Every structure is written in C-alpha cells, then in structure tokens.
C-alpha cells in the first residue's frame, strides 16, 4: 500500500543529510562536551558551531540561543521564569495557543495568582487586534504577551512585527511560539521586536527531542533544570550533541532551500484546495490568510462520519489530522476550532492537511479519491 503523509504540522520526515550528520556525530563525536580532553572539546565545538549556524540564519547572537529538549520545555522555562524571576504579574494570550503555552499559563495562574487575559478570536480564526492593542497599551503591571506566530491547527498567521512593536512601545515582554514558522519563513531577530521565541527541530525536517529558546540579550532568566554548568548553567544536563548537530543541519538546509520549497508547497496547497472545491463544492476553509503549508478544511460530510474519518483514511495509508496530534484519536473538538466555529460546524469533520516538499500532486489526487469513498 502506498503511504501518504500529509501531517507535516505534527512532525516532518528527516532529510537524509540530517540523518548523515547525526550518524557521523554519534560515531565520531561521542565525547562529553563538558570534558576538557580532546574528545570533549570536539563535541563542544560541534555544539558551539551549531549554535552559530542557527544564529546566522535567524540573525541573532549565538549566546542568545539555548538548546532544550523541545519547544514545550523552552516555553515552560521562559514563561515560568518570567513570572517567578522577572516579576511578570499579567499574561496576555489567547485560547488558541498550543497546550505547551496554555497549560503552562494555567499552572502559573494557580501557583502565582497572576492575571491572565485571553484576547477574543474572530470568526476568521484571527485575534481581535483592536482588543490586543488596547490591552497592551493600558496594562499597568509588569506584563508578558504570549502569542504564537503560526497556528499549528489552522495556519492562521500573527502579525509578529505589529504585536512586537506594540509590546516594545509599552515595555511589555513578548514571547512568540514560532514552532510552525521557524525554517519556513526567514527571520531577522535583530529587527523583529520579540524577546523570546521557541523552536523544535522535528518541525523542520530535523530530529525529535531537541529545540531551542531565543532569549534576547540582557534578559536574565533563572534555570528551569538544575545541575551542571551546561548552557551557561541555565539548562543543566549533558547536551545531546548529535541532536543539536542534526537540528543545525536541518535549519541550514531549510533556509538554503527556502524559496524553492516554499513556492512548491504553496502550489501543492493551492492544488489541494482547488481539487477539494471541485469534488466537494461546499467545503469551507477554517481560518483566513493561512500559512502556506497548512490547510484546515470543514468537509460537507454528515456528523456520523466525523468520528471515523481519520480512521478510514488511516486504513488507506493516508495520514492527516483533525487538530493537533495530541488530540487526534479523541472526538473532543479541537480547542482551536472551538474558539471560532459555530456549534453546528464543530460537529462536522474538519481536517488539517499539512504539506512538505516531499509531497506530490499525485498524493493529493489519491487523498481526494479516498475522501470520495469515505
């Protein structure tokens, strides 16, 4: 059976060059990066070279990047330390954030009694920017805004420059979850007014279990994990040299091939939407002006099909998603779609189809064929 992977917002296949880099590192550079002998020094060099490579592509300083095990860890660390150590008393966020952000904020709210403001979501899946601007401008206590750049379920894009400018003008800290956009659009962290971003290698054809936090120069967080002196003592634990090397390689390749892959993926998404519209004229797109690799559609199918659609596609070897990966398999509506779809629409099947440069038009044709007989 031909298997078709259209779930690239959940995770992406590794590039061969990334696998090769990781294998070479595992074989040749097994030293503990904290050891002072040559084995340790060569592992340490790989880590620091990787940091410089990532910094070069994001236009920031290498020391502003700290390696973590995931974006979830990076977000937990940043938000917790902002409240505990930087004195943040209020967080402005939205109900459509990833659970890494939402659940961290909820736990901080309970633990530290901070104020949390959720910006309303409009029927097109975007934030109410008027409310957001006012909230930022009128905040009288130390405040942090935590909003994601590209929504992982709908692909709705945040105007990161605008939000960052409002935050900078009001001396409000800005944490942006850039997990879905790093490696897929260019970033110039010297000109985007953002204090913290987080990324995860497995979303840009790198390995799982490694990510990073960007923490703007002069912001001093306290450790989240205590132990050795790794990562300037801020994130203790022996570094996974091969994972870090794989992440840097994946990011480098993502940016080298960015223009070509972006236009190819954009074409694939347009092709898929056109085919969906031709075959299911009542199909609706959830969210407007969405990111080029994510297409979330409401299918004009009966409610009974909602629970089984993913299963039926899966037995045909086709992987798509109903929401974020953590929710698939459950028939609870996605917390993101719940924020802006009507109750009636929520009962119908919505699918998130997310593309990478490895997909083809033929795969989309087979996916549409499979949907026709669901």
91 versus 283: smaller Cβ distance to ligand PLP: 91
Burial level of 373, CB count in 10 A (0-12/13-18/19+)? exposed
Q: How far is the CB of 67 from ligand PLP (least distance, A)?
A: 12
72 versus 359: smaller Cβ distance to ligand PLP: 72
Q: 177 - beta bridge partners?
A: 148, 198
Q: How far is the CB of 155 from ligand PLP (least distance, A)?
A: 11
139 versus 356: smaller Cβ distance to ligand PLP: 356
- Give the residues lining the site for ligand PLP (CB under 6 A): 70-72, 98, 100, 148, 152, 177, 179-180, 200, 211, 324
249 versus 352: smaller Cβ distance to ligand PLP: 352
53 versus 200: smaller Cβ distance to ligand PLP: 200
Q: How far is the CB of 102 from ligand PLP (least distance, A)?
A: 10
Q: How far is the CB of 336 from ligand PLP (least distance, A)?
A: 10
Respond yes or no: is residue 60 known to be catalytic: no
Q: How far is the CB of 156 from ligand PLP (least distance, A)?
A: 11
Catalytic site residue from 60, 167, 176, 326: 326
Active-site positions read 326
């Amino acid at each position: 059976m031909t298997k078709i992977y259209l779930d690239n917002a959940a995770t992406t296949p590794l590039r061969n060059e990334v696998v090769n880099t990781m294998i070479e590192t595992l074989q040749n550079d097994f030293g503990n990066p904290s050891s002072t002998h040559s084995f340790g020094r060569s592992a340490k060099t790989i880590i620091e070279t990787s940091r410089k490579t990532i910094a070069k592509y994001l236009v920031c300083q290498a020391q502003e990047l700290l390696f973590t095990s995931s974006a979830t860890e990076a977000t937990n660390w940043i938000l917790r330390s902002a409240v505990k150590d930087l004195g943040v008393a209020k967080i402005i966020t939205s109900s459509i954030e990833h659970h890494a952000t939402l659940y961290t904020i909820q736990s901080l709210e309970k633990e530290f009694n901070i104020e949390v403001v959720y910006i309303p979501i409009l029927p097109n899946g975007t934030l109410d920017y008027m409310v957001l601007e006012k909230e930022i401008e009128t905040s009288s206590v130390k405040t942090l805004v935590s909003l994601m750049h590209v929504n992982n379920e709908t692909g709705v894009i945040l105007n990161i420059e605008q939000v960052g400018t409002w935050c900078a003008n009001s001396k409000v800290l800005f944490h942006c979850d850039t997990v879905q956009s790093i490696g897929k659009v260019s970033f110039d962290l010297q000109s985007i007014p953002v204090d913290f971003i987080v990324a995860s290698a497995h979303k840009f054809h790198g390995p799982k279990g490694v990510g990073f936090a960007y923490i703007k120069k002069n912001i001093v967080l306290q450790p989240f994990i205590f132990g050795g002196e790794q990562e300037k003592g801020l994130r203790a634990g022996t570094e996974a040299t091969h994972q870090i090397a794989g992440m840097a390689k994946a990011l480098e390749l993502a940016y080298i091939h960015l223009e070509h892959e972006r236009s190819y993926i954009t074409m694939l998404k347009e092709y898929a939407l056109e085919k969906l519209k031709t075959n299911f004229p009542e199909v609706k797109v959830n969210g407007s002006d969405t990111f080029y690799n994510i297409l979330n559609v409401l299918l004009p199918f009966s409610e009974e099909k909602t629970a089984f659609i993913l299963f039926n596609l899966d037995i045909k070897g086709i992987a798509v998603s109903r929401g974020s990966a953590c929710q698939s398999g459950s028939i609870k509506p996605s917390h993101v779609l719940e924020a802006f779809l009507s109750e009636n629409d929520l009962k119908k099947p919505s699918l998130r189809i997310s593309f990478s440069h490895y997909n083809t038009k033929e795969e989309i044709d087979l996916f549409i064929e499979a949907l026709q007989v669901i």
